[in-house]
Structure 1
């Protein structure tokens, strides 16, 4: 997210039919809009907003290198999660990375991201475990971003492992 007054100092390079403004640089693009998520052939997410409300205007920025095809079925994406801040980000594999990451298709990464958001937002699921929710959440998220097992399977396995503790 960028300060809302960004476009007061700059004139937009493009204005969409819905009223979104775009300002292009060599490094990336600034966008002023009141709608985020899937837009035309892009998926935009706005971060660092405590109380996001659709139809409120925000200014966001994205580097050109962060854009990728939405219809990708190749397993070249992975999730990076900041447990402390409660946010997850989909990243594209960088061939120069030496870290081994669990790679997934873009569609699967979006599904996982939605499940992770739900784990941060909802608390009812944790009452059946008799364990600290932060520990449970962290454990489940680590397993979600490193596995193709369903969230339900992971929760059941977690429950079994907790009952097997001495």
Structure 2
């Protein structure tokens, strides 16, 4: 399956994109091409576009995630760049997303199916199920209450096994926990 081609005419309609923050001086000699109703500004280039904005995440009918240079706080104005090829189709009902976990940093994120490596086996979910899975994984990684009635020898091993199941199978948290009941 190939990705639709995105341009300055359609990037803002039902898309998923991961933007990378860049320093402000990277755009100092560039001209703003468009300002949205919400005040975000855009600079179009042949390779992609810059967005100057104070809000990321759910943007109108798009989901645009920011990879910040340092710790990011919404409401701070940030400049980010995305290549035209970084945009993917997005809707709330199709199974378009998969989850990845960085166990060292305990970061959980989601990605578009068209960005997966060919050899990467991923479980696809719609936007709502993806968000729910991410919340559950964060709970498993950072809290202990969920394990109260489960049988296990080592909590960290149990965490790892459950997170693995949640990422690599379509099972619900309840289904996964049932296998650990006495």
Normalised TM-score (structure 1): 0.71
In the TM superposition, residue 118 of structure 1 has moved relative to its aligned partner by 4.1
Counterpart CA distance in 2 for 1:84 and 1:62 is 27
Which stretch shows the higher mean deviation, 35-44 or 77-86? Answer: 77-86
Q: Kindly report the root-mean-square deviation, in angstroms, between the aligned alpha carbons of the 2 structures.
A: 3.1
Counterpart CA distance in 2 for 1:74 and 1:126 is 29
Looking at secondary structure, tell me which structure has more strand per residue.
Answer: 2
Q: Aligned pairs, how many?
A: 158
Name 2:133's counterpart in structure 1.
112
Name 2:80's counterpart in structure 1.
60
In the TM superposition, residue 91 of structure 1 has moved relative to its aligned partner by 2.4
Name 1:46's counterpart in structure 2.
66
Structure 1 spans left out of the alignment, 5+ residues: none
In the alignment, does 2:30 pair up with 1:7?
Answer: no
Which stretch shows the higher mean deviation, 36-45 or 66-75? Answer: 66-75
Looking at secondary structure, tell me which structure has more helix per residue.
Answer: 1
Change in Cα spacing, 1:123 to 1:92, as seen in structure 2 (3 Å) is same
Residues 57-96 of structure 1 mapped to structure 2, 5 A cutoff: 57-71=77-91, 73-85=93-105, 86-93=107-114
Deviation track 1:41-97 (CA, whole Å, cap 9, x = no partner) reads 211112246643221222233333332333253334322332223242312246982
Contact 2:32 2:43 in 1 (8 A): yes
Name 1:138's counterpart in structure 2.
160
Structure 2 spans left out of the alignment, 5+ residues: 1-20
Normalised TM-score (structure 2): 0.66
